[in-house]
Amino acid sequence: MSRNWLDRVWMVVGMAAMLMVGESQHCWAVEADAGWDNGTNGFVTGTAFKDALEAFDGIDLIKDPEDQGLGPVYNAQACRECHQNSGPTVKFVETHNKVAPASGSGSQVLEHRAGFLLNIGGFLLFQNPEVKLPNDPPIQNRNLINDRAICPNAQERVPETAPAFPSLFHRVETDRLSLSIRGDGFIEAIPDAAILSGRNAQCGSFPTMCGTAIFVPILEAQVSNAVRIGRFGWKNQHASLLSFAADAYLNEMGITNDLQPDEVTMACIDGLLPPNDEASDTETEDIEAFAQFMRSTKVPPQFPNPFTNEGMPNPPVENGRHHFKGLGCVICHTETFHTAPVGTTFFTPDPPDPANPPDPQSNAVKEQREFKLNNALGNKDIHPYSDFLLHDIGTGDVFPLNPDAQVAALGEVMIAACEHYHIGVAKRLFREDLRKSFDLKGKELDAKLKEQLEATSPKDICNMVSIPGLKKLRLEGNGKPLFENAICSSLNLLKLEAGPKSTNPNELNLKQVQESHFSFLDLHCTTKKLRTPPLWGIHMRSRLMHDGRSFTYRDAILRHQVEAAGVTAQFTMLTNVQQEELFQFLDSLGMRKDP
């Protein structure tokens, strides 16, 4: 291994460490509470956690007097079906009569995605599938293919051909492994500034490994410019655990809620359910409980632990950690982040409008949905081994959050944005686009929005191609065609610096960023890219990588190509003993001292 390579790696590690300490401004940060047990990290009381866990583990039925019901299309009947593994210590099991596995962990469960791709000289155009049903309109605007249905008429199957220009597009498919959500409350508490600072250091020193950070909508904030750096899901499609819960409740279990109020299809249920213009209190309470559970889980343990010295010294694990750093794995698998200070509030809803005061119940819901850090989540050191950025390592997932707008020139565009963010968010973005494109405000803006929406089908609203200002934005950029091959590289290398002093010192002032960069255009650059998965808890995974097709550490590492090709090449130069030491270090991520 060249000395120059090692020097560059350690330079980045040092820069990242200084940046993270600087961002936190708290040298007294303490280690986050760790464990595999079904116990609270302290964000909520033990009783509240037990209630949230019961909701997370609860099985949904097709018909339930207290619920709208499962389906029509779904993948699981309960959150724990996809998120459960491991359990408490041996001593705990010995002293309790009734013990359940730990909910929230990852599992072997996969979801399936399909679409259609056209490669024009390395420029990728993507279409979502149109899933035809026997007696109902086709399912559109999503690339998730649910494996289960509540009746035969709703069963989804991957279509053979693309909905538009079938002779040009070929079918692409992938599986995505269920992620662990344990410790996600601490990840949600990482300031945007820390993620972006790490990204800037990474891009400055390793431009060929420069990660992509994307701004994504916060569904519960209910304002058009409420965005944050995405960090949840294989595509970083969410930054809020409540938004994430609402998305999964609809798309994985088929249950609508107030953040995702529209059924995927009315097959099997048309006429049996009330209109979905607002969700019942039960569904709203459910997604609140899911978010509360995720925010209250402990981080996966690490043993031996170099940060607490528990189980140290342990030469093989220490050597393995040295190899992990020396190879350059830490360039993307960042060891340590610091959460924002106690008292920091995220996702603050709009201030009340004196002219249109909301009813007290609405105020109560909005107040409840503020995410405020208490002593359990704030000022904590966590070791997720992820930069929470998107990278292309050549593993074949070509599903963007937003495809190339040039497909519009072919007459058809289908995107998955409405799958994750609901059509209401697209409408809010339309409003912002109209405001900026035509310099409208007040009643003129509302009238223009109404005119555009009346002339636009729901499908085209999801496609984001029918608003004149948006078309102009997509086709022009600084006097050049926006969709040149280099556009994503330009976005990746853009340094998003902090703006004027913010009222929240732990978050960037994002006004300029929102005005200049937040749109579904940025999401186009997620094609072929996936989030760096946190490695904490990897010991409890029998399947590795996004598609679950790797079963050993060695196989998973060797699949890291493109941006990670140099690191993988260095790995192959290690001796067998050194590789085994690296694997022992990885095994320590998720181990604990028993009993």
Residue 309 makes CB contacts below 8 A (sequence gap 6+) with none
Question: What's the pLDDT score for residue 218?
Answer: 85
pLDDT digits (tens, 9 = 90+) for 355-394: 445 555 444 444 457 789 999 999 999 999 999 998 999 9
Pairwise CA distance, residues 132 & 150, whole Å: 16
CB 391 within 8 A of CB 380: no
How many domains does the chain fold into?
Answer: 1
Yes or no: say if 116 and 134 are a contact pair by the CB < 8 Å rule: no
* Contact in structure between 58 and 78 (CB atoms under 8 Å): yes
- For residue 362, being part of any structural domain is answered with no
**DSSP structural state of residue 340:** P
**Is residue 204 situated within a structural domain?**
yes
In a domain, 460, yes or no: no
* CA pair distance 583, 577, nearest whole angstrom: 10
Reading phi first (left if > 0) and then psi (alpha if -120 to 50, else beta), residue 439 is in: left
Instruction: Find the farthest-apart pair of alpha carbons in the chain and give their distance in angstroms, rounded.
Output: 71
DSSP 455: T
131 lies in a domain?
yes
State CA 41 to chain mean position distance. 22
Question: 49 near 39, Cβ under 8 Å?
Answer: yes
Q: Does the residue 426 lie in any domain? A: no
Instruction: Specify if 283 maps to a domain.
Output: yes
Domain containing 65: what range? 1-353+377-421+488-595
Non-local (6+) Cβ contacts of 348 within 8 A are 221, 370
363 domain-assigned: no
Lowest mean pLDDT among 282-291, 381-390, 397-406, 570-579: 397-406
Cis status of the peptide bond prior to 72, with omega within 30 of 0: yes
Residue 403 lies in a domain: yes
Cα torsion 50, 56, 57, 59 to 10°: value is: 130
Instruction: Give the other-Cβ count within 10 Å of 141's Cβ.
Output: 20
What pTM value is reported for the model?
A: 0.84
The tens digit of pLDDT for each residue in 23-43 reads: 444 456 799 999 988 899 999
pLDDT digits (tens, 9 = 90+) for 93-115: 666 677 788 899 999 999 999 98
Express as a percent the part of the chain with pLDDT over 70.
67
